[in-house]
Chains A and B, each alone.
Chain A
């Protein structure tokens, strides 16, 4: 497990984003502020996720959408390539649909 304080820009990111998680593959995921959906439905809210490597370089970004139980129900990979929306079964984390 890496020490986040050795990663360039970590203090700024830790302050800018809502929270972070250290991964076992020498990367950190920074989770942006949660925004509750203004329209009621299956999607309760969403946030931006930014994945950074040990050198502090942004490797991937995506949007995560959550249901009312705060389970991830959809991801939308944005970089390095926009892959559209990927629906997930929150119980299995398996992909159910792409659109």
Chain B
């Protein structure tokens, strides 16, 4: 059953992906300007050679089908701006960086969010509830591009505790991942609190308490599985959000990840890099959502695959 469901989801993906490729391809090509606009004045012959090298002299439909053909073989083409480098190479270098940033951020979000939400739900309407929940309200309403600079200001510029930017040592990981994870930690804490509060009032929780389990045991063994369902279903959007949020975070902290390549190459009109990174983003977000749906169905037998 699950296999059939997976196949179905992936079958939908193919036309959607094709649609996205087509739209992005023609959107970029029909826009004014080109990748060689800013080159220093080059002679017409060199320009011609450049265009021939990238097949820019062919009619557009031919280029489109060439791109599709290459794509089917997993080749995203050469970069227009980074001489002698292919898009595959660039992605191969940038993706692990972005993935690391994303995973650390997600870990923060889950650690802080779950802990704060659980504490708040176990002691509702006390300061243990009010303080984390007020913080989470602030966290939700502050966008990444505000949290990031403020963290830099406090921890790197005013106090020399952490580096301002870069991506070399482990200290470099702290501020960007906190920046990116904070808003999601805030949201997850609220979802955790809500979910746990709802499950607390259920009969089986009372039974568990009555048979003499400690509060901790009741929560961990009986409460978590049901109480965390809202959090699990939020993970899909959260992952998608972390991936997009990385655009800003990577540019604030000068991290050589996918997001920076995407923005930079969009501005430079590096056609193939824009296409390649955008497509990768689409695929990533699709698979994250799929993964979350599967985990969700695994935890909640009430969900059926349609």
Q: Do A and B belong to a common assembly? A: no
